[in-house]
Amino acid sequence: MVTALLTLGAPGAASAATTPPPVRLYDYGIESYRTGASGTAVEAMLRNRLGRPTRVVESKGCELDSQAKPLRTVVWGNFSVTFERTPALRLRGWQIGHGVTSSRLRLPYGITTATPYRTAVRTIPRARTAWDDTFQIMTIRTSRGPHMLWWGEHADGRGRIEGITNDFSPCE
């Protein structure tokens, strides 16, 4: 009986109604949530849109920073979101690491970890590149998104984008 009811609807109607919209990532935050927004609200929205995270990590923050606040990092595959406890949970930033980027995410300028580095440089408005000798990465920044950072592994710009973030925190 249940099967008969589902087949009476338009093809794909059941799945379209239950598929949440993709999550849009920005220089300033996630969807309409800006850095510093309620972490509880942001995490609830992400769980609703992306499902159960693959991992949640509670940490003391950067051990090199005496002013560091405790952090909560929630991970879905290669996408992670970091929250600070100040004492309330507050959105700090997001990062896309090496690997396949979920089709459930919309990234700035459409750049993903599948994008060739040189294509990213041509696509990102006002892109500025620089080799970071400390971290051994080739970075891309733009004045259009001052918190954004894209990076690759080769000084000559070969290869693909290896990571994307609006909160570069090398200590984590």
The verdict on 102 and 24 lying in the same domain is yes
Domain of residue 54 covers 20-106
Domain count for the chain, please give it.
Answer: 2
Beta carbons of 101 and 160 less than 8 angstroms apart: no
The last residue of a domain, from among 84, 106, 128? 106
* pLDDT computed for residue 17 by the predictor: 62
Tokens encoding 168: 């570069």
Residue 80 within a domain: yes
The verdict on 78 and 96 lying in the same domain is yes
Residue 149 within a domain: yes
The verdict on 102 and 29 lying in the same domain is yes
End-to-end CA distance of the chain: 53
Residue 54 within a domain: yes
The last residue of a domain, from among 106, 129, 152? 106
Tokens encoding 68: 């560091």
Residues of the chain with pLDDT below 70 are 1-17, 171-172
Residue 2 within a domain: no
The verdict on 89 and 25 lying in the same domain is yes
Residue 6 within a domain: no
CA distance 25 to 82: 13
* pLDDT computed for residue 18 by the predictor: 82
Sign of CA dihedral 8, 21, 56, 96: positive
Sign of CA dihedral 126, 131, 137, 138: positive
- The full DSSP string for 15-33 is HHHH-PPPEEB-SSEETTE
* pLDDT computed for residue 56 by the predictor: 97
* pLDDT computed for residue 172 by the predictor: 52
Helix (H) or strand (E) run with residue 123 in it? helix 117-123
The last residue of a domain, from among 106, 123, 156? 106
The verdict on 81 and 26 lying in the same domain is yes
* pLDDT computed for residue 142 by the predictor: 96
The verdict on 145 and 99 lying in the same domain is no
CA atoms within 13 A on the CB side of 1: 0
Q: Which of 29, 35, 25 is nearest to 110 (CA)?
A: 25
